[in-house]
Amino acid sequence: MSVEVEVNENDLAEMVEQVWESYLDPEGISPLIPTYDENQPSEVHSSVSITGSWTGHIVYASSTSAARRAAAAFLAMEMDEVSEEDLSDVLGELANIVGGNVKAMLPPGALLSLPQVVLAPETTARFPHSERISGVYGVWDGEPVSISMWQSRGDNKEGAE
Amino acid sequence: MRAMVIDDSRAMRMILKRIVSKLDFEALEAGDGREALDLLATLDEVPELALIDWNMPNMNGLEFVTNVRADPRLREMTLVMVTTESEQSQIVRALAAGAHEYVIKPFTEGAMIEKLALLGLVPTGANS
Amino acid sequence: MTLSQAEFAFVSQLVRREASIVLAPGKEYLVEARLIPVARAVGAPNVSEFLAELQRRPNPQNQRKIIDALTTNETSWFRDREPFSALTDVILPELVKSRTATRKVRIWSAASSSGQEAYSLAILLQENLPPGWSYEIMGTDISTEMVKRAETGEYSQVEVNRGLPAQQLVQYFERAGAHWRISQQLRRNVSFKLMNLTAPFPAMQPFDVIFLRNVLIYFDVATKRNVLQNMSKVLRPDGWLFLGAAETTIGIDDNYERVAAGRTSAYRARTGAPAGAARRV
Ligand SMILES: C[S@@+](CC[C@H](N)C(=O)[O-])C[C@H]1O[C@@H](n2cnc3c(N)ncnc32)[C@H](O)[C@@H]1O
């Protein structure tokens, strides 16, 4: 009795690839290399929530160093110039971009929240009552980065047949 | 020429500012639609271009477009939505409200410049 | 770790022989970067091992993969815009006068890559031909992967951002998951085939317009001349040839003359062509 999720791992991987191509690796020289390791560590993460025809979260998590590197690439600055504010902004926008694209693939009537950024590791405890349904796990220049999709349990019945 | 960059993400505003500056636009920034309208009210000359996010607090991009289109003083401004909203129906809505073009995030710098070229806002030769 | 000179020479010879593509020396780094995913996909430990194995035991399938990986497939919707405006403003009005018997326009997108050029032409004809007219567009490419992609007619978000007006995106595409799929209305007028432009051409019906853009640059002069000569046999005597912005027939094949077409230029057969609206530049 839950809405079928129409976003699979390949879709997620493709979106991630497009984010890399657009902002993080426009030259195409350092892609995110898949590790398929769901349990790889993270030090910071950002998320957006989706509610409505599907309810859950999209989470971007990485090491601090990978986040710094993402911010530097995004903002065209050196890694040591990146402030904590830059880091949060960029992490938030990355979750927002992936989340927005996921939302567009869900049945109509889904709403996207503003991004939340937490400069602490992603843990299951932060997304209570939800389970991970797909994810892209990889290393970027040796540092862990993941993008995962969490579906809320129980409270996603609206619109279900 | 001047371009207004309207997005609640400072990081995204920086990316957009960088691109329009390359095309010799002077960039003005606003964090949401309300702020953008307030800023426009103080300007003697209307900017040629606005790059507009959709989801923003206070006033969203679609409302901003609707407001601009209702104001004869702002008629000449070219409006480009730059957003993750990518359902077909959303694009149709934005165009119907009066947006001239639509760029889906994520976008490459080249793609943004090509879109602005479609609108005649890029001096020829700048996009190759 | 970059390719050794011998490895680079092996790859250059291969793509030169099979696709007439000239790899400039100094591109070792690029070649290696492009071949890493290929080597990985076939399960070779690294590019050197992959090439060594291929030298020991030639394998057409893996050779194909190398050619696919090394050809540049860069393309976009309505690329460079001017040739498309010329088609709408100058060429179609002329064809509509001269093709009244068949009421049909045939266009070839030679080296069509992932199909954006061919479908851009379809959009344009769909919107600009008078009622009762039909059109046929053929796209060809040497890359099996590109031909397959073009046939599928599905494009990523990043791809539809590139040069395609939003109005036409919503009108001629529909969302298919993470992608956008070209509408059936356009799809049915466009076909794609595998074809090496530097090999003898198969039998083909002549075309009114040929787009041969951003591919001659990869060939040496003799190959360019050969391709242009073959093209002239399938271009109607009053037809039009468009080349890429950095390409020309001048100094290569004198049977064409450059003519103004809107704000850009195109090429037409020098002899036997009625002057029409064409003006020499
Ligand atoms: C840069 S793309 C050009 C695409 C399109 N015509 C445009 O201008 O946007 C070049 C294409 O030429 C193809 N190509 C290279 N050598 C070829 C050959 N010998 N015969 C046919 N196609 C070839 C490549 O596979 C690639 O898709």
A42-100: per-residue pLDDT in tens?
999 999 999 998 999 999 999 999 999 999 999 989 999 999 999 999 999 999 999 99
Query: Distance (Å, rounded) from C-alpha C130 to C-alpha A80?
Result: 61
Instruction: For chain B, give every domain's residue range.
Output: 2-107
Q: Would residue C281 count as lying in a domain? A: no
The residues near C108 (Cβ < 8 Å, ≥ 6 apart) are: C137, C138, C139, C140, C207, C209, C210, C211, C234
Q: Are residues C234 and C120 located together in one domain of the fold?
A: yes
Tokens 């993270």 locate to: A42
Nearest CA to ligand 1 atom 17: C142
Does A29 have pLDDT greater than 80? no
The domain A9-24+38-152 is classified under which CATH number: 3.40.1550.10, 1.10.287.3610, 3.40.309.10, 3.40.50.2300? 3.40.1550.10
Q: Would residue C93 count as lying in a domain? A: yes
Instruction: For chain A, give every domain's residue range.
Output: 9-24+38-152
Confidence of residue A3 (pLDDT cuts 50, 70, 90): low
Confidence of residue A9 (pLDDT cuts 50, 70, 90): confident
B110-119: per-residue pLDDT in tens?
899 999 998 9
Tell whether A9 is within 8 A of chain C (Cβ): no
Whether B11 sits inside 8 A of A112 (CB atoms) is no
CB of C223 sitting under 6 A from ligand 1: no
Does B127 have pLDDT greater than 60? no
What per-residue confidence (pLDDT) applies to C242?
Answer: 98
- Average pLDDT score over residue span B12-19: 95
Which helix (H) or strand (E) segment holds residue C208: the answer is strand C207-212
Ligand 1 centroid from CA C112, angstroms: 6
Q: Are residues C181 and C93 located together in one domain of the fold?
A: yes
Least confident of A117-121, B123-127, C136-140, C156-160: B123-127
Say if residues B9 and A117 touch (Cβ distance below 8 Å).
no
Whether B92 sits inside 8 A of C170 (CB atoms) is yes
CB of C142 sitting under 6 A from ligand 1: yes
Q: In 3D, which of B89, B87, B112 has the Cα closest to residue B101? A: B112
Alpha-carbon dihedral sign for residues B98, B99, B101, B102: negative
Q: Please report residues of A whose CB lies closer than 8 A to that of B90.
A: 104
Token pair in block for residue A60: 């971007």
Ligand 1 centroid from CA B114, angstroms: 21
What per-residue confidence (pLDDT) applies to C231?
Answer: 96
Ligand 1 centroid from CA C228, angstroms: 15
Whether A11 sits inside 8 A of C156 (CB atoms) is no
SS3 content of chain B, % helix, strand, coil (to 5): 45, 20, 40
Does A10 have pLDDT greater than 90? no
Whether A11 sits inside 8 A of C177 (CB atoms) is yes
Q: Would residue C90 count as lying in a domain? A: yes
Whether B84 sits inside 8 A of A101 (CB atoms) is yes
Say if residues B88 and C170 touch (Cβ distance below 8 Å).
yes
CATH topology of domain B2-107: Rossmann fold (3.40.50)
The minimum CA-CA distance between C112 and chain B, rounded to whole Å, is 20
Q: In 3D, which of A83, A81, A62, A64 has the Cα closest to residue A19? A: A62
Q: Are residues C256 and C235 located together in one domain of the fold?
A: yes
What per-residue confidence (pLDDT) applies to A125?
Answer: 64
Best residue in C80, C82, C161 for a mutation probing chain B (most B CBs within 10 Å): C161
Which ligand 1 atom minimizes the distance to the CA of C244?
8
Confidence of residue C19 (pLDDT cuts 50, 70, 90): confident
Least confident of A16-25, C121-130, C222-231, C270-279: C270-279
Cβ count within 10 A of residue B70: 9
What per-residue confidence (pLDDT) applies to B63?
Answer: 98
Whether C158 sits inside 8 A of A18 (CB atoms) is yes
C76-121: per-residue pLDDT in tens?
999 999 999 999 999 999 999 999 999 999 999 999 999 999 999 9
Least confident of C20-34, C130-144, C221-235: C20-34
Q: Which residues of C are catalytic?
A: 34, 141
What per-residue confidence (pLDDT) applies to B124?
Answer: 61
The residues near C120 (Cβ < 8 Å, ≥ 6 apart) are: C77, C78, C79, C84, C164
Q: Are residues C50 and C138 located together in one domain of the fold?
A: no
Q: Are residues C22 and C128 located together in one domain of the fold?
A: no
C230-277: per-residue pLDDT in tens?
999 999 999 999 999 889 999 999 999 999 999 999 999 987 544 444
- pTM recorded for the entire structure: 0.87
The minimum CA-CA distance between A16 and chain C, rounded to whole Å, is 11
Tell whether A26 is within 8 A of chain B (Cβ): yes
Say if residues B62 and B46 touch (Cβ distance below 8 Å).
no
Domain finish residue from C14, C39, C71: C71
Q: Please report residues of C whose CB lies closer than 8 A to that of A21.
A: 158
- Which residue of C142, C219, C220 sits with most ligand 1 atoms within 8 Å of its CB, as the best mutation to test the pocket? C142
Q: Would residue C275 count as lying in a domain? A: no
Q: Would residue C98 count as lying in a domain? A: yes
Predicted complex ipTM: 0.92
Q: In 3D, which of C280, C276, C230, C229 has the Cα closest to residue C259? A: C280
Confidence of residue C1 (pLDDT cuts 50, 70, 90): low
Chains that touch C (3 or more CB pairs under 8 A): A, B
Q: Are strands C179-182 and C173-176 parallel, antiparallel or unpaired?
A: antiparallel
What per-residue confidence (pLDDT) applies to C21?
Answer: 80
Cβ count within 10 A of residue A81: 11
Whether A89 sits inside 8 A of B18 (CB atoms) is no
The minimum CA-CA distance between B124 and chain C, rounded to whole Å, is 10
- Side-chain half-sphere CA neighbours of C25 within 13 A: 4
What per-residue confidence (pLDDT) applies to B126?
Answer: 44
Q: Are residues C11 and C90 located together in one domain of the fold?
A: no
Q: Would residue C279 count as lying in a domain? A: no
Q: Would residue C278 count as lying in a domain? A: no
What is the SS3 assignment for C171? Answer: helix
Confidence of residue A109 (pLDDT cuts 50, 70, 90): confident
For residues C194 and C176, the model is more confident at C194
C181-207: per-residue pLDDT in tens?
999 999 999 999 999 999 999 999 999
Domain that holds residue C124: 82-269
Query: Distance (Å, rounded) from C-alpha C53 to C-alpha A25?
Result: 32
Q: Are residues C25 and C141 located together in one domain of the fold?
A: no
Residue type, C183: S
Best residue in A4, A6, A33, A105 for a mutation probing chain C (most C CBs within 10 Å): A105
What is the SS3 assignment for C29? Answer: helix
Tell whether B114 is within 8 A of chain C (Cβ): yes
Residue C26 is part of a domain; what is its CATH number?
Answer: 1.10.155.10
What per-residue confidence (pLDDT) applies to A90?
Answer: 96
Q: How many domains does chain C have?
A: 2
Say if residues A32 and A109 touch (Cβ distance below 8 Å).
no
- Average pLDDT score over residue span C219-224: 91
Q: In 3D, which of C103, C100, C95 has the Cα closest to residue C208? A: C95
Residue C262 is part of a domain; what is its CATH number?
Answer: 3.40.50.150
The minimum CA-CA distance between B73 and chain A, rounded to whole Å, is 32
Confidence of residue A161 (pLDDT cuts 50, 70, 90): very low
B31-90: per-residue pLDDT in tens?
999 999 999 999 999 999 999 999 999 999 999 999 999 999 999 999 999 999 999 999
Q: Are strands C134-141 and C104-110 parallel, antiparallel or unpaired?
A: parallel
